[in-house]
Chains A and B, each alone.
Chain A
Amino acid sequence: MIRTLFSSRSRKVYDFHGGIHPPERKALSNGTAIVPGPMPAQLILPLNMHIGAPAKPLVEPGERVLKGQMIAEPSGAVSAAIHAPTSGTVSAIGPRAIQHPSGMDAICIVIDTDGKDEWIEHAGVADYTERSPGELVDTIRHSGIAGMGGAGFPTSIKVNLGDHQRVEELVINAVECEPYITADDRLMRERADEIIAGINILQYLLNPRRTLIGIEDNKPEAISIIKRACKGCDIDVRVVPTKYPSGGEKQLIQLLTGKEVKSGQLPAQVGVVCQNVGTAYAIKRAVIDGEPLLSRVTTLTGEGVSQPGNMEVLLGTPVRDLLLHGGVDPDNIGRLVMGGPMMGFTLHNPAVPVVKTTNCIIAATLEELPEPPPEQPCIRCGSCADVCPANLLPQQLYWHAKNDDLEKAQHHNLMDCIECGACAYVCPSHIPLVQYYRYAKAEVRQQAAEQVKADKARQRFEARQARIEAEKAEKEARRQARLEANRKKKVETSAPSVDTVALKQASLEASKAYKAAVKAAKAAEAEGAANINELKAEVDRLKAEADKAKAAVRDAKDAGPAAAPTEDRVGNLKKQVGEASTAYKAAVKAAKAAEENGDDNAADLRAKADELKASADKLKAELRDAKASAPATTAAAPQADPMADLKKQVGDASSAYKAAVKAAKEAEENGADNAAELRSQADELKAKADQLKADLRDAKANAPATPTPAPAAAPADPLAELKKKVGEVSSAYKAAVKAAKEADENGADNAAELRAEADRLKAEADHWKAELREAKASAPAPATPKTPPAPTDTPKAPETEAPQALKAVDPEVAAKRQKRLKALKTAYNMAHKQYKEAHAALERGERNGDIPAEELNAMERKVDKLKGKADVARDALDALVEEAKADIRAHTGKDLKTLKLEAARAESALADKQRELEQQRDNASEVNLEALSSELQALEAEAQIARMALKQAVEEQGLQD
């Protein structure tokens, strides 16, 4: 042994702190071969024989099962399957006493055995290297293998570490350091080849750099047999000195590799995987023989047993049957221990079944394991500290645990205690130290859990407050916006001045809500709140809301000046252009800075800058338009001479046309979006100019015929001029008719002549009337100074644009979008409804407090999920609506709001005009009436067009709601 220990540096066995040498008592049971265990009448298979989630039963009571049939499947990542250890009938699935120190009941599958031991069809894999590691892991998982050393951690997880984790050492734990137990010892002596085959499978799965088997030097037979079996394998057998607890995972790793597993970490994190030798055997049976884990080798020992030894026991065998089989006199035993004497637990009910982790049953006499002596005061002798393998100060831990000073106990690394019992073993005062540590650890865990619960409750409360506040703010913002829209509508018809104030207010409130939500989210994030995503979504939503409100304010601002006089508009536009380009420049600068800093939002900023540029360009183009059209409208005012006036108009119109053509060309060259628009505008201007030219021609032609009245007046406006002319001509006609009548009556001879003159005058009057109508029709809006809001004096005449643009909408796309919109709306409504219901249920639950915490948490999660769903649906819906709006904008050059506004304006202008007509009907002159009615007609047409445009746009995009 000494040679083994020191033969070479690489074979060095390290040491760990502390440790004890309790009487081994292994000779009681290690002298005889493993024998088959009893076949009990009933097998009791707990659903949680392993660490992790209990398995899920696959069978029903009354169902016949065959040996090896899976009767419960793993229910989660950390779980293991359970198989019928023999054939029989499932007689019950219900609570039975299980392997737990408290003797508690848990759900078990009870099988009444039939003694036939009838196998289900099964087959192994002759050459496992033909299978992928994944398949083998699956086989192991479905064979129900869990750590056989005592912990019962599902093996499939430990052998499936993923590619990122390099396994340096595979450590096979064959130490079996607890007194009494000899199961692994016998297994190694009798089934070494199968163990090595299992280790080979583990090597194949984990591909470790080294494989080390650690065996205590008190098992010389097992050592020599395993060494023989390992010949030619890449397996290193290391003999470790007998010392408890060298079989502890962390201690063995330290012994064989010198590595320490960091506190709170797993061995895999230092590149080590540790497997029990019994587990390796089970893996071999599962993979090569196709036999799931049905039995295990269990040591039945103690002085109360007449024939101590090792048995291959079917899982689920009640301890009582085992004791009977081993010849135990129930009256002769004082203590029944499942597991070893150091870490096992006492059974008070021998009906408890043997499970995957049951390596030993000790039926001890009272003399052998007597009642623990009464606890004496701790004298801080320090024996415990000397033996602690974790190098703790157990005496201090005890002191703090006893005083419930958990903080100090944790400061002394209470949670690093492995509960090996070495301290309690050596304590001269017989203080059950491990019990104190278990208690303190449970307290710490409970406190932590309660802290988490309290934190969660607080977060839930805060989130709820934030949500309620945000909803309130949102509601308020919406209300304000609605109010504003109503007021704006009213204002549109009277005086467009105050609407922005309220909108600003709404925007302010929205951004306030947004900021509050941001703050709440940050606070929640700082505390690591679970519902942070929900809060973030809320924040995003509020931000969108705030942005919307801001946009509304901007729109209002844009729309405001549009209603103002033209010169104001030009000035305004200039200002806006200036503002827009400043904003654009600032945005470019910010984007550049962000790019230099490598900020995440650089792309965002860049996109924003582009957007701003586009809007600046648009504004510039608009300004150009406005400038181009402004002279056409303003210059039309004071004219001395209708001819000169017309001439000037023609000149202005054609220059405007030329300017428009130029702008359009420029736009086309730059590839601007509004090129088509400009082009159509240019066309329009050209038509206007042509018409004016024709008018001028007419006027020239008519001028000699009516020489007198023309120069007399100095009308302010061509229409008034025309009107006046009409009035003059018609009064001349009337006078002529009167004169002709008089002449007729008087029998004057010039009567016929006069009548001819009257006829000519009537024709002339008719002509001028037509002229007037036409003039009104062609330039009705700019020429009507009587309607103060003059909504139609925007440079772009809507009647020419909207219908034209609407033609461009692709009906197929629109239809598709309409469909999607509808579907999304339904989805959103459903999600929102579900969310509301779940939320109400949660609040009810919270209020009543009659629902367990886990359920509440589940409900909360559900609410979060539903809210997320609803948010997603709403976001998608919003996005689609935005898209549709953008489409309308692209197609009509206006967004939906503008269209709506225009329609409303047209309607109200129409209504005003109608009222005016009604009022003037009685006392106005015929001419006035006629002018008014023609105006009314024009307005009606305009309103009709605006209505149609709006309707069409809305219908196209399916935005009725």
Chain B
Amino acid sequence: MALISSTSPHTTVSNNTGAFMRQVIYATLPGLAVLTWQFGWGTVINVLWAVVVALVSEALILKARGRPVAFYLKDYSAVLTAVLLALALPPTSPWWLTLIGVGFAIIVAKQLYGGLGMNPFNPAMVGYVLLLISFPVAMTQWIAPGEAPSLAQSWQLFTGQLPVDGLSGATPLDTFRTWAGNDSELASHGILDGQFAGLGWEWVNLAFLLGGLYLISRKIITWHIPAGFLGGLALPALIAWLINPVRFSDPVFQIFSGGAMLGAFFIATDPVSAATSRSGRLIYAALIGVLIWVIRSFGGYPDAVAFSVLLLNLCAPFIDYYTQPRTYGHNKANRGTNSAKQGGGS
């Protein structure tokens, strides 16, 4: 038998990137379940459809790029992108919305940049923002919590046979944003009055939190990004709420509303487009959190996870340059780029 000739180390973890991705996908299941419980089968249908779209577009683009299709499909990164994007889409969204969003995310935001590991932006969020800007009406129609449509209704919504209007209702974030500062109106909207946060959404976020904690326990992600994210969101919210509780929502409401937990544990933690050192990740995530609070409180959109993540994706390389850890045997960490002439490239 020919002896294997390879360099050290000769043993590695049995883990692989595909397993990594699969773990993340598994961790989204509690959130998916709650979403289905609260808003019907739309999300499940979306997820399945998105996965199909992602696999097909990934295969096509890999073929076009002359890469081994099966090898790259096995890394589950396209599936994960599809799942995350589908989870963020309204359960009422028709098939073409998902198709456009996922197709754009995989083909443009990921593969045209060089494929897995090379994309500067989170592909799912690029797809999401594309849809949000292009189809704002379709993207902001959510089903009122507790009024989940039947499977048949969901399918009809998906195929576009059933108009959305009859089923849709405002989300807690939307409601608060509309009536912020008006105490009596805020009090009259039951959707804001869940067990501890917005009605329905509190459970969705709690489920994603559980999934996220599972990821941390499996060492798929570290605590830095979720902690930074939630801290960055909750701290300014707390301060503002203490100052003016009518104008600003409380921090618990903030972190258990909208895409907060999904963003904190599943979106911002995408390692490819995040900062890479530990302190860098803290800074990166905290800034995302702050930005979300700013946009939610003062911006034109009720939620802002996608925008904030994309904006901080831009900053990640820069943050990396300034957050290198102190190497063993060095008095202090290297900071910034090593020379001015190299400032632009990397």
Contact = CB atoms under 8 A, between A and B. Distances in A.
B276 A428 contact: no
Contact of B324 (A262, A331, A412): A412
A343 B16 contact: no
B75 interface: yes
Given A344-B10, A424-B9, A260 B329 contact: yes
A169 B252 CA distance: 54
State the main secondary structure of chain A at its contact with B.
Answer: loop
Given A412-B334, A435-B7, A425 B12 contact: yes
Interface size classification for chain A: 35 or more
Interface centre among B3, B276, B328, by most chain A C-beta atoms within 10 angstroms, is B328
Contacts of B339: 407
A418 B244 CA distance: 55
A376 B17 contact: yes
A23 B14 CA distance: 12
A336 interface: yes
A389 B320 CA distance: 19
A346 B5 contact: yes
A416 B327 CA distance: 8
Interface in A790-831: none
A943 B271 CA distance: 103
B20 interface: yes
Contact of B346 (A372, A405, A416, A428): A405
B338 A381 contact: no
A391 B326 contact: yes
B327 A344 contact: no
A271 interface: no
B325 A393 contact: yes
A424 B3 contact: no
Nearest to A346: B5
A383 to B, nearest CB: 8
A386 to B, nearest CB: 7
Contacts, number: 185
Interface in B301-346: 320, 324-330, 334, 337-339, 342, 345-346
A705 interface: no
A22 to B, nearest CB: 6
A16 B8 CA distance: 22
Given A379-B17, A380-B271, A425 B9 contact: yes
A66 interface: no
B168 interface: no
A9 interface: no
Given A379-B272, A381-B20, A22 B11 contact: yes
B19 A428 contact: yes
A897 B49 CA distance: 110
A428 B1 contact: no
Nearest to A261: B329
Interface stretch (B51-59, B110-118, B126-134, B233-241): B110-118
Contacts of A704: none
Contacts of A371: 4, 6
Contacts of B320: 393, 396
A345 B16 contact: no
Given A346-B3, A411-B334, A391 B327 contact: yes
A442 to B, nearest CB: 12
A429 B17 contact: yes
Interface residues of B, number: 48
Nearest to B220: A381
Interface centre among B8, B77, B327, by most chain A C-beta atoms within 10 angstroms, is B8
A396 B276 contact: yes
Given A179-B11, A411-B337, A263 B327 contact: yes
Given A379-B117, A396-B276, A416-B327, A428 B9 contact: no
A332 B13 CA distance: 23
B10 A428 contact: no
A330 B1 CA distance: 8
A428 B20 contact: yes
Interface string B269-298: 001101011100100000000000000000
Contact of A410 (B9, B71, B338): B338
B15 interface: yes
A348 B5 contact: yes
B36 interface: no
A336 B328 CA distance: 33
Contacts of B20: 379, 381, 428
Interface string A404-436: 010110111100100101101111111010110
Contacts of B272: 379-380
A265 interface: yes
Interface in A317-338: 330-337
A23 B16 CA distance: 17
A250 B327 CA distance: 13
A112 to B, nearest CB: 27
A262 to B, nearest CB: 5
A354 B6 CA distance: 20
A376 B74 CA distance: 10
B9 A416 contact: no
B222 interface: yes
Given A331-B1, A382-B222, A408-B346, A250 B9 contact: no
A333 B1 contact: yes
B346 A263 contact: no
Nearest to A392: B327
A709 interface: no
A17 interface: yes
Nearest to B13: A426
Interface in A421-467: 421-422, 424-430, 432, 434-435, 438
A338 to B, nearest CB: 11
A390 interface: yes
Contacts of A263: 327-330
A373 interface: yes
B66 to A, nearest CB: 15
A40 B330 CA distance: 48
A341 interface: yes
A413 B7 contact: no
Nearest to B330: A263
Given A336-B3, A380-B117, A416-B330, A342 B325 contact: no
B17 A432 contact: no
A395 interface: yes
A377 interface: yes
A341 B327 contact: no
A369 B329 contact: no
A347 interface: yes
Given A396-B320, A429-B17, A385 B277 contact: yes
B10 A346 contact: yes
Contacts of A342: 8-11
A408 B338 contact: yes
B16 A393 contact: no
Nearest to B19: A428
A336 B3 CA distance: 7
B328 A416 contact: yes
Contacts of A254: 328
A807 B307 CA distance: 108
B115 A376 contact: no
A416 B10 CA distance: 22
15 contacts: A22-B11, A263-B328, A335-B3, A335-B6, A335-B10, A362-B10, A369-B4, A382-B276, A385-B278, A393-B320, A396-B276, A407-B342, A412-B324, A427-B12, A428-B20
The 10 A-B pairs with the shortest beta carbon distances in the complex, nearest first, are A421-B9, A411-B338, A377-B117, A263-B329, A413-B327, A390-B328, A335-B4, A341-B10, A377-B116, A381-B271
Given A332-B1, A392-B325, 13 more contacts: A260-B329, A265-B329, A369-B11, A376-B16, A377-B116, A379-B116, A380-B272, A380-B274, A391-B326, A395-B276, A416-B328, A427-B12, A429-B17
Interface of A: 16-17, 22-23, 101, 179, 250, 254, 260-265, 330-337, 339, 341-348, 362, 364, 366, 369, 371-374, 376-383, 385-386, 389-393, 395-396, 399-400, 405, 407-408, 410-413, 416, 419, 421-422, 424-430, 432, 434-435, 438
